[in-house]
């Protein structure tokens, strides 16, 4: 039997710290490609795109919504993420602590922080409670309507952890009724099916929502999004301040939008236009509940067709508001979306009486403020009018913006005064 050669190289041993770390981790690891921008992740950017992640066989085998530790290309941990190979946003940052445990206590901590802000902002429990990444719950939207909450789990991980999220939501807020709204473009991008159901309690009628001196009726089961758009609250209020004694035209009104707020602020009359008959029926109920039904009328139809018809009729209003759905929800639709905003401004501007006001809104993620403002200005000019820009509004503070994620600051509202 020969003795080992003392000069022979010894077999390489694994790094003790690495072995201990891998052993201690409860989740698999995923790794950024060498050219991926790890610095942005470290500085708070919450997403990893599919072309930035190493998608080896192990990563591809992760179930949608699985948890994993994200590492940079040098294998240094960046945090705990959720992975969905079916999405262009392949990973979303959940916690900078890669050892975090995603349980009811974890959800409760984030919900408690979110609730503290909303209770400071509003005296009544009607608000957006969770605004996705900006509140530390990626892809999750929760709107509160008194003792009822509507949850939109728009990312695969939220669907997987929905029961735990709802249990924490009930414990933190005390709501008695919870609706899951599983509709919308975001879920489709995550490979999730549409599914709306009551998860706790009962919801069998539209819910009255007091806001800006008016009462809105929110259909939580069959309406658009979660049933009401809380994001426009401060812009409704600003418009109402300009609307005293005014004849108002509210395009894309949904369930009363700007029109009911303007009437509560003393507008002479309001014509509300929308393509949805059920939404207009709720708007009429809201007008009755607000005590302004005698000054409120509706018209169903395509907004562009109605604007052209009103122009042909020579109609005039002291305030015209256009709050359309997102014409540019993503970059591929940007140019077409900007043309649509320009056309909307061109058709709306001639309907504004001299010295009146034109309010143009965009909720498009892909259209930044400058692009939207320029398209609106071109449209006003093509409509034969000159304008002063008085005010630029954004989403209500219950829709906070994550500074590292421009998409979280999506809403823009431009208030113009038009001359003769």
pLDDT at 25: 63
Using alpha carbons, list the distances in angstroms from residue 147 to 126, 214, 237, 339, 342.
9, 20, 25, 42, 41
Q: Characterize 208-241 residue by residue with b for buried, 16 or more Cβ atoms within 10 angstroms of its Cβ, and e for exposed.
A: bbebbbbbbbbbbbebbbbbbbbbbbebbbbbbe
Q: Tell me the three state secondary structure of residue 322.
A: strand
Joined together, the tokens standing for residue 65 give 């919504």
pLDDT tens digits for range 181-210: 999 889 999 999 999 999 999 999 999 999
* Cβ-based neighbour number of residue 317 at 10 Å: 22
Q: Tell me the three state secondary structure of residue 332.
A: helix
Q: Is 322 one of the annotated active-site residues of the chain? A: no
Could you tell me which of 123, 187, 122, 124 has the C-alpha nearest to residue 151?
Answer: 187
pLDDT at 35: 86
Query: 256 and 216 in contact (C-beta within 8 Å)?
Result: yes
Structural class in CATH, domain 24-95: mainly beta
Query: 379 and 343 in contact (C-beta within 8 Å)?
Result: yes
Domain ranges in the chain with CATH number 2.30.130.10: 24-95
CATH number of 208-418: 3.40.50.150
Indicate which residue of 272, 363, 366, 411 is catalytic: 363
* Cβ-based neighbour number of residue 382 at 10 Å: 14
Burial class of residue 17 (count of CB atoms within 10 Å of its CB; 0-12, 13-18, 19+): exposed
Domain ranges in the chain with CATH number 3.30.750.80: 104-200
pLDDT at 407: 85
Q: Can you tell me the distance from the alpha carbon of 415 to that of 35, in angstroms, rounded to the nearest whole number?
A: 43
pLDDT tens digits for range 242-261: 999 999 999 999 999 999 99
Query: 264 and 288 in contact (C-beta within 8 Å)?
Result: no
pLDDT at 406: 87
Query: 323 and 352 in contact (C-beta within 8 Å)?
Result: no
pLDDT at 12: 44
Enclosing H/E stretch for 165? helix 162-173
Could you tell me which of 104, 106, 105, 86 has the C-alpha nearest to residue 94?
Answer: 106
Query: 328 and 334 in contact (C-beta within 8 Å)?
Result: yes
Q: Can you tell me the distance from the alpha carbon of 352 to that of 345, in angstroms, rounded to the nearest whole number?
A: 11
Could you tell me which of 206, 199, 158, 154 has the C-alpha nearest to residue 180?
Answer: 199
Q: Can you tell me the distance from the alpha carbon of 269 to that of 297, in angstroms, rounded to the nearest whole number?
A: 8
Phi-psi region of 7 (alpha: psi -120 to 50; beta: other; left: phi over 0): alpha
pLDDT at 223: 84
List, in sequence order, every residue forming a beta bridge with 214; answer none if it has no partner: 211
pLDDT at 85: 96
pLDDT at 8: 47
Q: Can you tell me the distance from the alpha carbon of 30 to that of 195, in angstroms, rounded to the nearest whole number?
A: 30
Using alpha carbons, list the distances in angstroms from residue 173 to 65, 146, 245.
26, 10, 40
pLDDT at 224: 85
Domain ranges in the chain with CATH number 3.40.50.150: 208-418
Joined together, the tokens standing for residue 383 give 């409509």
CATH number of 104-200: 3.30.750.80
- Where the chain has pLDDT below 70, the residues are 1-25, 420
Q: Please report how many Cα atoms fall inside a 13 Å half-sphere around the Cα of residue 89, on the Cβ side.
A: 21
Backbone angles phi, psi at 254, to 5 degrees: 60, -115
Eight-state DSSP code of residue 4 = P
């Amino acid at each position: 039997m020969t003795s080992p050669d003392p000069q022979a190289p010894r077999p390489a041993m694994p790094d003790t710290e690495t072995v201990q770390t891998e052993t201690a981790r409860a989740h698999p690891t995923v790794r950024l490609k060498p050219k991926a921008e790890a610095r942005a992740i470290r500085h708070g950017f919450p997403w990893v795109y599919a072309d930035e992640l190493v998608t080896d066989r192990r990563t591809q085998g992760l179930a949608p919504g699985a948890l994993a530790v994200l590492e940079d290309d040098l294998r240094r941990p960046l945090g705990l993420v959720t992975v969905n190979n079916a999405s262009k946003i392949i990973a979303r940052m959940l916690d900078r602590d890669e050892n975090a445990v995603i349980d009811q206590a974890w959800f409760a901590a984030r919900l408690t922080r979110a609730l503290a802000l909303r209770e400071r902002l509003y005296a009544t429990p009607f608000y957006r409670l969770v605004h996705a990444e900006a509140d530390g719950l990626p892809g999750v939207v929760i709107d509160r309507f008194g003792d009822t909450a509507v949850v939109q789990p728009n990312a695969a991980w939220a669907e997987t952890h929905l029961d735990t999220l709802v249990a924490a939501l009930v414990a933190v807020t005390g709501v008695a009724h919870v609706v899951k709204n599983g509709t919308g473009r975001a879920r489709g991008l995550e490979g999730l099916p549409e599914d709306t159901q009551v998860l706790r309690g009962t919801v069998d009628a539209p819910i009255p929502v007091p806001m800006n001196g008016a009462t809105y009726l929110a259909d939580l089961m069959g309406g658009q999004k979660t049933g009401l758009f809380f994001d426009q609250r401060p812009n409704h209020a600003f418009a109402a301040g300009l609307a005293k004694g005014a004849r108002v035209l509210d395009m894309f009104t949904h369930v009363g939008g700007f029109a009911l707020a303007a009437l509560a602020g003393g507008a002479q009359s309001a014509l509300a236009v929308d393509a949805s008959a059920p939404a207009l029926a709720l708007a009429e109920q809201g007008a009755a509940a607000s005590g302004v039904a005698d000054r409120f009328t509706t018209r169903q139809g395509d907004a562009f067709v109605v604007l052209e018809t009103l122009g042909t009729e020579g109609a005039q209003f002291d305030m015209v508001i256009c709050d359309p759905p997102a014409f540019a929800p993503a970059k591929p639709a940007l140019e077409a979306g900007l043309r649509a905003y320009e056309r909307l401004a061109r058709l709306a501007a001639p309907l504004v009486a001299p010295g009146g006001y034109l309010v143009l809104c965009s909720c498009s993620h892909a259209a930044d403020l400058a692009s939207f403002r320029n398209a609106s200005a071109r449209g006003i000019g093509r409509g034969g009018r000159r304008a002063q820009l008085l005010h630029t509004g954004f989403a209500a503070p219950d829709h906070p913006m994550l500074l590292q994620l421009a998409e979280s600051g999506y809403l823009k509202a431009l208030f113009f005064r038009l001359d003769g």
